[in-house]
């Protein structure tokens, strides 16, 4: 026994990136944080569509999330589990419902709901990730950054 | 057949409140949303201690979450699952580490970590819930408010 603490083995970046891409493809919901211009935080779960490089959510135009994200042009969102975290930060572009039928079809297939069939006015919000982090528990906080400035790290 | 749509049966408030109290006691982690004074949203998962009426989290004093929550004096947080949602909004009070050893002991027992043993300076943030909502899927959005102005609804 050397007395040296056992080094906790963490998942390598290539594996974390592969796991994260798989989570983005397979998961349906994410937590969307947003803020008003006077610094009031908001948080809701929403379903999303992942097309391999961007996430699309749809929410009522009058909702705090739509207002906040359109104002900021930026989102911080998290997939699924508190002990298997994927945090996505990125730019937000608003797309009026009806403007991109192909995207709306894909969103409806992925999320199981189609805002075109609803009475409320919705807006599509397309998120282009700029930074992605993934970790399970605190021992994996080192090496959690997988994407920076929109590029997956090698 | 009357042609009238079947009314989706939702969980009654007393049952939702009991389930929510059980979740608050049993769960360990929550998603904490916060915002800077210039309207930039932040989101992290943190472990908490629930004492039956307040939640206590602890995070580095220099972290965005600590700065944002102390500034706003307010938090919006969510427990666990995107399809079994518990949203808590409430006032935040900052308590210096060392000021309330009993609370710090309880927090360490609930969360499995003790900021008093760490080199970084931490702060305890005690959340007094003012509004609590709970729902599973969209059919349960009606009736999701369980607490208002700090009082559980009858």
> pLDDT of A76-121, one tens digit each?
999 978 888 999 999 999 999 999 999 999 999 999 999 999 999 9
**ipTM for the whole predicted complex goes beyond 0.85:** yes
Q: Which residues on A lie below 8 Å from B71 (Cβ)?
A: 39
A45 neighbors A29 (Cβ within 8 angstroms): yes
Rounded distance, CA A79 to CA A154, Å?
A: 22
Q: From the CA of B132, how many Å to the nearest CA of chain A?
A: 13
End-to-end CA distance of chain A: 36
Confidence band (pLDDT; 50, 70, 90) for A2?
Answer: very low
Rounded distance, CA A41 to CA A37, Å?
A: 10
Which has more confidence, B41 or B1? Answer: B41
pLDDT at B10: 56
pLDDT at B12: 84
By residue count, chain A amounts to 154
Rounded distance, CA B7 to CA B41, Å?
A: 38
How many whole angstroms from its chain centre is CA B81? 13
Q: Which one of B31, B39, B58, B70 would you mutate to disrupt binding with A, by most A Cβ within 10 Å of its Cβ?
A: B39
Is residue A135 predicted with pLDDT exceeding 50?
A: yes
* Record: contact B30-A80, CB cut-off 8 A: no
pLDDT at A141: 85
Q: From the CA of A1, how many Å to the nearest CA of chain B?
A: 25
R_g of chain A computed on alpha carbons: 17
What is the reported pTM? 0.90
How many whole angstroms from its chain centre is CA B127? 7
């Amino acid at each position: 026994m050397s007395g040296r603490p056992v080094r906790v083995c963490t998942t390598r970046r290539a594996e974390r990136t592969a796991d994260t891409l798989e989570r983005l493809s397979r998961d349906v919901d994410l937590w969307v944080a947003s803020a008003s211009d006077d610094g009031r935080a908001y948080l809701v779960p929403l379903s999303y569509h992942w097309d391999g490089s961007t996430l699309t959510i749809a929410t009522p135009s009058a909702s705090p999330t739509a207002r906040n994200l359109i104002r900021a042009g930026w989102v911080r969102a998290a997939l699924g589990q508190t002990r298997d975290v994927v945090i996505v930060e990125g730019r937000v572009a608003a797309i009026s419902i009806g403007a991109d039928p192909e995207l709306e079809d894909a969103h409806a297939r992925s999320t199981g709901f189609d805002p075109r069939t609803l009475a409320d006015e919705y807006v599509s919000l397309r998120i282009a990730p700029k930074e992605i982090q993934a970790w399970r528990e605190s021992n994996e906080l080192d090496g959690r950054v997988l994407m920076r400035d929109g590029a997956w790290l090698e």
